[in-house]
Chains A and B, each alone.
Chain A
Amino acid sequence: MNLRKIGVRALKAATKGILLYVLYFVLSLFLAPVVKIIPTLQQSIEAFVALYLILMVIGDFMAGTIYHYFLGAGKSLFVIFYLILSLKSGVVSATFGSIDLLVDLRLFLVIAMFLSLLGLARSVFQAVNFMNEEASLPEFGL
């Protein structure tokens, strides 16, 4: 692996990371009214985005290796478990003075988990495919 390839990968990973952060920044402006009501939401989303970005950037940096797919699968598992834990199984409650607020996000959680499971399946397929290719190519002298 030469330095040029590593540089290209690093640039690609950094660009994707920056784009995702910009997207998060724009979306967070729209979430500002809800964050005013639930201040802990900001921390929760920030922690999620930070960890997701780290996994994504490292994964993209590892492109072309089996670790890329491992990190992809790890990213999907991270999304599943983080959503389950942070959304408290889908029913989020908060107390403001004498008012109790309860938001039922189970539908959102089910859809998000389904999509994450699809992402996990994709990473597993990609890993199998990658190993298949790796196994086949040397035999053909490729």
Chain B
Amino acid sequence: MLTKQRKHETAVLTENHLIEDVPASQLENRKPMNIPIRAIGIATTVFWAILILFSVSVAYSVKDLQFGFGEPQIGTTLDNKVLVSLPINVTNKGYYNIGLFNVTSVALDEGGFTVAQGSSVVPVIEKDRTVVLFHNLTLDINDLLQRDQNYLFNDTQLTVVECVSMKLAELIPVQASGNISIPWGAPMHNFTLEQPKYLATNLTHIQIAVPLSFENHAVFSFSGNVRIRMYNNAGLLVGSDDTAISVPQNSRYKGSIEFWVMASAISSNGRLEIELQTPFFSYGPQVIAYG
């Protein structure tokens, strides 16, 4: 059995098999890997502890993240586009800041065409702070009608792809996305232009009324100008008129466009051309035969 004394002064076998008496400190030097092994062990343990505690605390912080949605506000932009603004409250009561909070919405029609899109970004939501951001979605109805005029007359469904992304603790990217279906209300639903009616006559002119009705199912009110032109069977313009209309949202418009035409030029049949100009959209001329 090796004694403690002998451990301190022991023999070292060299490569030439020579035996020398050396102190114990020099014997330790024959184990040069002990120090780096210990250093690696301590470093990995410390970094594992930091990594696990950080990950767990970030995950725990998720429960202290609260979202609230306000009532959507509908307005118009300076270039006469419909603006849907959704207030979103984000309350961060977690341990870390939230980085790059981004909300993106893309509205698609049944054919997958992008009808409207909008994106809102908050660079940093600091901890123990509440941020209110207005997520704006801009809708150009003229663009929509250029693609398909049915949007003016027929209610349909739009698919909105919502994507919310953020960086937890400004480091870990998280993204949640989903599709929701929203109804599209046609601004001129059930558009009806009836046959012209003769109201009154004098020696040279006849007063004509063209009854017009539709329902505004859109989320916005609009006012505009209806222009009507009447042509006889020879293609000659016999009369025209501009009438201002104003239609609140979710209401029915029923009226008639009255105008005078030359009695000598009028024929039993012909065509009517109708145009509608509003700040949001333009429609027409729609040609309707009469007689």
Residues in A lying within 8 Å of B, measured CB to CB: 27, 30-31, 33-34, 37, 97-105, 107-108, 111-112, 115, 118-119, 121-122, 125-126, 128-129, 132-133, 136, 139-142
Whether B60 lies near A30 (C-beta < 8 A) is yes
Whether B174 lies near A101 (C-beta < 8 A) is yes
B side interface size, CB within 8 A: 36
Complex Cα distance A42/B62, Å?
16
Given contacts A103-B173, A125-B36, 12 further A-B contacts (CB under 8 A): A30-B57, A34-B60, A37-B62, A97-B178, A98-B178, A98-B179, A99-B177, A99-B178, A107-B171, A107-B172, A118-B43, A128-B33
- Contact (A31, B56) CB under 8 Å given A98-B178, A122-B41, A136-B30: yes
Main secondary structure of the interface of A (DSSP, over half): helix
Complex Cα distance A65/B281, Å?
84
Interface residue ranges of B5-22 to A (CB < 8 Å): 10-13
- Which of B46-54, B144-152, B223-231, B262-270 faces chain A? B46-54
Q: What is the minimal beta-carbon distance from B83 to any residue of chain A, in angstroms?
A: 26
Whether B48 lies near A115 (C-beta < 8 A) is yes
Complex Cα distance A98/B171, Å?
26
- Contact (A103, B62) CB under 8 Å given A31-B56, A115-B44, A119-B44: no
Complex Cα distance A112/B55, Å?
11
- Contact (A103, B174) CB under 8 Å given A112-B51, A118-B43, A125-B36: yes
Q: What is the minimal beta-carbon distance from A49 to any residue of chain B, in angstroms?
A: 12
Choose from B34, B37, B48, B174 the contact partner of A104 (Cβ within 8 Å). B174
